[in-house]
Chain A
Amino acid sequence: MPVLRTEGLTVAYGETPVLDGLTLTIPAGRITALVGRNGCGKSTLLRALARLLRPRGGTVYLDGASIFRMPTREVARRLGILPQAPTAPEGLTVRELVALGRYPHQGWLRHWSEADERAVESALAATGMLDLADRPLDALSGGQRQRAWIAMALAQETEILLLDEPTTYLDMAHQVEVLELLYELNQARGRTIVMVLHDLNQACRYAHHLVALKDGRIYAQGDPREVVTPEMVREVFGIECCVLTDPLAGTPLCIPAACKGCTFRRPEDARRLPAPPPAAPAAAEV
């Protein structure tokens, strides 16, 4: 099992540090979710883990070796990264995109091999994209497109997969579809997955390990069932909430109340909301 960890990782844009001496070990073979407010450094952490950003201090170790010292192609055979909302050239088909995932396994002399072909087919099958393999990416729905990108990352055949907000711009059904796919990949193939997620409840449901970041430092980490408390949500997200248990998954479910400074905080304050119009029962759910 590959071990990915950071030690004293400091990243800064200009003078402001975004990550401040962060030390973290990613549990191997599990799903880790990075959560926090906008600008807390979670995407920066993910990009540094993928050696896309050079840290100012500290480093990232993959099985004990600094990934900034390893040949980048060797890193690419062990660790894949899917950036947020990537774009493909017009007309590129799903199969062509997925085939590019084999890039680190090829070279000037070693071109397309049977192993490459097998990896592509198996990535297409795992993501349910076999039927759509010859369609251009621009003709697909958002969820299908994201599945195609995940298939590309899978074809890379890395032990570790990093994803930056894989559910952005997707509707609710497609979000669940993508997260279920990642969960399956983790369960069936034991891949280590690290992802930045915006939705805390999704993170609770799909991640084994939750890392909550605040101002470039780790505020709390661990099993979501232990980590997610009203205090943690208040400190990390700056919002009051009520933590219930998800009736389907048994994981924490965070019901936001209101921002700091708002008056609507307790259930009894609900009376202040305007009463729903009696004629429209559907509106009562709002």
Chain B
Amino acid sequence: MYALFRSRPGLGLLAGLGLLVLAFGISLASGLQAIPIGTVLEALTAFDGSPAHLVVRSIRLPRTLIAMAVGGCLGVAGTLTQALTRNPLAAPGTLGINAGATLAVAAGLYLLGTPSLHTLAWLAFLGAAAAAGAVYALANLGRGGVTPLRLTLAGAAMAGFLTALTQGVLVASERTLDEIRLWLAGSVAGRDPEVLRGLLPYMLVGLALALGLGRPLNALSLGEEVARGLGQRTGWVKAAGAAAVVLLAGSAVAAAGPIGFLGLAVPHLSRWIVGPDYRWVLPYSGVLGAILLILADVGARLIIRPGEAPVGVVTALLGVPFFIALARREVGRR
């Protein structure tokens, strides 16, 4: 199974896209009321306004599309973060980037009343960028510069701090609390399809930027000095990568709130399947992230029936054991 698609990465990506279609179908069919796949297809191709068709088209289709987009963004953002920092424990969640975007959005909702989607998106980008910059500066303090351990610790501290601030904003405003409680736990349910339409351009720019970085990231994976020796302007590569992370993680948070662990786990799974070549790891992470978040959202609908869990809770339930196993392995290696 290890590096199964290493020698034929295109085939694996095709298989991944097939799985994505399958997951998409499962997501449209599952929920409180299971809908047969035939009816799902009819709802998409020959909509007749029946309750089942309505559920598929106006509830499950938007949330599945959002889960797909957000999962893809978080997967790619996680891979970029790990590649840029050369740190296997780095991810938008663990480095406090998601928490920064969340605080900025929460504060925006509190201070501005009902800001437009684009305002919220830019607030999320600003929050993500500020948190990333602060974590890097914090890890860079003192002698020896940024090490993986320092970066991870700085990220954990920053994430805790920003989350506490977000709680503070919520306590200060009851209205904000009600409005964003579900969003804060990370959820793709009940979101306006317009949200996705508005955020899609940012996501696509982020994805395009990320996919263009595959070859430079391969060189950078040999270390900063080797990459510079090979004639890479590493500052530009890192800046472009950071911009892509901010766009991807920021728009994911604006769309679905902070969803943790996906950005951490997906890069490892992708490398495990296709090997270390970032020209393939990046697209694999996008597809895999999309599949996993769709399936996690299906799980969120089913685990506490008739109620529904936020999808962020499901990714945390799956992600924490993964994180612990990973941390143990990485610590054991050093």
Do A and B associate with each other?
Answer: yes
A residues whose Cβ falls under 8 Å from a Cβ of B = 47, 50-52, 71-77, 80-83, 86-92, 96-97, 100-101, 103-104, 106, 156
- Which residues on B sit within 8 Å (CB–CB) of A75? 231
- Which residues on A sit within 8 Å (CB–CB) of B275? 91-92
In Å, the complex CA distance between A92 and B223 comes to 13
Are B231 and A72 touching (Cβ within 8 A)?
Answer: yes
Are B276 and A52 touching (Cβ within 8 A)?
Answer: no
- Which residues on A sit within 8 Å (CB–CB) of B218? 100
Are B228 and A103 touching (Cβ within 8 A)?
Answer: no
Are A100 and B219 touching (Cβ within 8 A)?
Answer: yes
A86 partner, pick from B222, B228, B277, beta carbons under 8 A:
B222
Q: A91-B3, A91-B275 are in contact. Are A86 and B226 (CB under 8 A)?
A: yes
Are A76 and B229 touching (Cβ within 8 A)?
Answer: yes
Q: A76-B230, A103-B231 are in contact. Are A87 and B276 (CB under 8 A)?
A: no
Q: A89-B276, A91-B271, A91-B275 are in contact. Are A156 and B223 (CB under 8 A)?
A: no
- Chain B residues bordering chain A, tally (CB within 8 A): 19
- Which residues on B sit within 8 Å (CB–CB) of A77? 231
Kindly provide the distance from the CB of A250 to the nearest chain B CB, expressed in whole angstroms: 35
Chain B, residue nearest A156 (CB): B230
Are A89 and B221 touching (Cβ within 8 A)?
Answer: yes
Are B225 and A103 touching (Cβ within 8 A)?
Answer: no
- Which residues on A sit within 8 Å (CB–CB) of B233? 72
The 5 closest A-B pairs by CB, nearest first: A76-B231, A73-B231, A104-B231, A81-B229, A103-B230
- Name 18 extra pairs, CB < 8 A, besides A71-B231, A73-B231, A96-B277: A72-B231, A72-B233, A76-B229, A77-B231, A81-B229, A82-B226, A82-B229, A83-B229, A86-B225, A87-B222, A89-B221, A89-B276, A100-B219, A103-B215, A103-B219, A104-B230, A104-B231, A106-B215
26 inter-chain pairs at a CB distance below 8 angstroms, sorted by A residue, are A47-B225, A50-B229, A52-B225, A52-B228, A71-B231, A72-B231, A72-B233, A73-B231, A74-B231, A76-B229, A81-B225, A83-B223, A83-B225, A86-B223, A87-B222, A89-B221, A90-B271, A91-B3, A91-B276, A92-B221, A92-B276, A96-B276, A96-B277, A100-B218, A100-B230, A103-B231
Are B226 and A83 touching (Cβ within 8 A)?
Answer: yes
| Interface check B232, CB cutoff 8 A | yes
In Å, the complex CA distance between A71 and B231 comes to 8
In Å, the complex CA distance between A96 and B228 comes to 18
Are B230 and A101 touching (Cβ within 8 A)?
Answer: yes
In Å, the complex CA distance between A83 and B221 comes to 14
Kindly provide the distance from the CB of A95 to the nearest chain B CB, expressed in whole angstroms: 12
Kindly provide the distance from the CB of B24 to the nearest chain A CB, expressed in whole angstroms: 31
